[in-house]
Amino acid sequence: MDEKKAGFATVDEYIASFPEETQVKLQELRSTIRAAAPEAEEKISYQMPTFFLKGNLVYYAAWKKHIGFYAIPSANEAFQDELAAYTVSKGAVQFPLDQPLPVDLVTRMVRFRVAENLARAEARARKDEE
């Protein structure tokens, strides 16, 4: 009988599943996101820590050699020049575990996503009123 791996119930449980050095990086990223979006809620989505504010805001995940930061393609496009030093795909950025996290950049990307989600929610609310 195949036993399916149970998912993570909490962000703390997710972070605790990694080696200590990785946990430190994950907590630093978590704190940075929380400071940039204090009104956002934390949850697990797609088995990754996720911040939610009128929709999914950003995700992050630990890998063997990097932290994946998923700020949705729009934020990657808006900050593409500053992200040039990192491995970037359409919706993801890889922050190497052996380098300092770019806290200022992450803060600005999260704030960009907050503004985007709030504007989208406001537009939906206006449309619903029509």
Tell me what pLDDT residue 6 has: 57
Q: How far apart are CA 40 and CA 71, in angstroms?
A: 14
3-state secondary structure 20-41: HHHHHHHHHHHHHHHHHCCCCE
pLDDT in tens, 34-62: 999 999 999 999 899 999 999 999 999 99
pLDDT in tens, 3-41: 334 589 999 999 999 999 999 999 999 999 999 999 999
Spell out the long-range contacts of 47-50 with Cβ–Cβ below 8 A and sequence spacing 24 or more.
47/7, 47/8, 47/14, 48/14, 49/11, 49/14, 49/15
In the chain, how many H helices and how many E strands? Answer: 4, 6
pTM over 0.85: yes
What is the CATH architecture of 11-129? Alpha-Beta Complex (3.90)
pLDDT in tens, 55-91: 999 999 999 999 999 998 899 999 999 999 999 988 8
